[in-house]
Amino acid sequence: MPKAAETILEIDLNALGHNYRYLTSKLERNTKVLAVVKAFGYGSDASAIAEELVDLGAAYLAVAYANEGVSLRDTEIEIPILVLHPLPANFNIILNRCLEPSIYSRTMLKKFIAFAEKNKQKLYPIHLKFNTGLNRLGFRKEDIPFIVETLSKTQSVKVQSILSHLAASEDENERNFTLQQINSFRNISEKLIEKLGYRPLLHTVNTSGIINYPEAQFDMVRTGIGLYGFGNDPEENKNLKPVSTLKTVISQIHKIEAGETVGYNMGFKAEKPVRTATLPIGHADGISRAFGNGKGWVTINGQKAPIVGNVCMDMIMVDVTNIECIDGDEVVVFGENPSVEELSGAINTIPYELLTAVSQRVKRIVYRK
C-alpha cells in the first residue's frame, strides 16, 4: 500500500480470510457459518466484507436493521440475510428484498404473520429468537405453546432457525452461567422442534462461543468481531489479524513555547518548549473526546505521539517533540500499533466501540496485502 495522503481506513481482505479460516478450523465439517456484517461491517465496508465472506463460504449473513440488508442486496449479495432487529415499519422492505426477520415476541410474530398473509406469502422464512439470560430480546420458554398454536394456523411463514444469544461467553468466571444458557437453549429447541414437526437450524454461539464452547455449535455459529480480528481474549487475538487500519497524515507542525496553550479551552499548557503536529481527524471521524489530554495516542514513524489538549471535531494535535517528522508524514491511528485493544483500554471501552465509531466520511480503501 502507498503511504496515506489523507485520512483513510484500510481494509485488508486477506486478514479477513485468515480470520475466517482460523475460526472455521474450530468447527465440525457440517456446521454452517452466519457472518455478522452489521454496522457497516463493524465500521469497515459491509459490501466488500460481505462479498468476500460469500466467497469464503459463509452460509448466512446477519445485519441489525433492514436498511443494512438492503445495502447488501443493492450490491448483488444473494445469500440469505438475517435481520436481527426487524421493526414492523420495515416489514415491506424485508419482504421486497428477501430478507429474513428474527422474530422475538408474541406481538412481533402476530404482526409479521398478518403482514405475510396480507401479501399472500407462503412459507416465508422467519427465525425465532429466545431469551436464555441476556434479557435483551427474545421469547421465553413459556411462549412455546403460543408460538406453536399461532404457527399451526398459517402457511404464510416457516421457521428457518431457532436462536439465542450468549451473554458472557468470553468470561471464564461466568462459565456456569453460559452453560446454563446453552442447556436452556437446547431444551427450548427440543420442545419446539417436537411440536413443530420439523427441524429448523439451531444457533446460539458467537465468536467467543466458537472458541470456548465447541460443544455448542449446533447447526450454525454466528461470528462478528472475530472476523474483524478480535477474539475477546489477548491470547486468541494472537491468532487473528486486524482487518481495519485507520491512518491519517500530518497537516502542520507547530513550535509551542513554554506557557503557550494548545486547542479549545486551553486544554494543554506547555511547561517547556514542545513540538505538536496537527492531524486531519477528530471526533466527527470517530476519535472520542475521551482520548484527549494524553489518554490517546497515534504512531508516527514508529514512535508514540500522545494527543495534546482536547480532541476537536475535525482535528487532533499530538506531541512530536522527540519524533523526526514533517508535514505530510503518514500517521497510524490504530491497526497493529497502536492496536484497537490498547486504545480502547485507555478509555475503559471495548474494540467494538472504536471500530464502529469510524465515520462514513472517512475514505475506505479495500485491498489484499
Given 255, 264, 269, 369, the catalytic residue: 264
Closest by Cα among 271, 268, 249, 267 to 259: 271
Closest by Cα among 252, 278, 253 to 263: 278
Q: Which residues contact 315 (CB under 8 A, 6 or more apart)?
A: 251, 278, 279, 280, 281, 282
The C-alpha cell 419482504 sits at 95
Q: Find the DSSP H helices in 264-339.
A: none
* Total count of residues recorded for the chain: 369
Q: What is the DSSP string of 75-110?
A: TT--S-EEESS--GGGHHHHHHTT-EEEE-SHHHHH
Between CA 61 and CA 53 the distance in angstroms is 9
Q: Cβ(103)–Cβ(109) under 8 Å?
A: yes
- 352 an active-site residue? no
| Cis check: omega of the bond before 338, within 30 degrees of 0 | yes
- 3 an active-site residue? no
Given 32, 38, 241, 247, the catalytic residue: 38
Q: Cβ(340)–Cβ(356) under 8 Å?
A: no
The helix (H) or strand (E) run that includes residue 35 is strand 32-36
The residues assigned a catalytic role are 38, 264
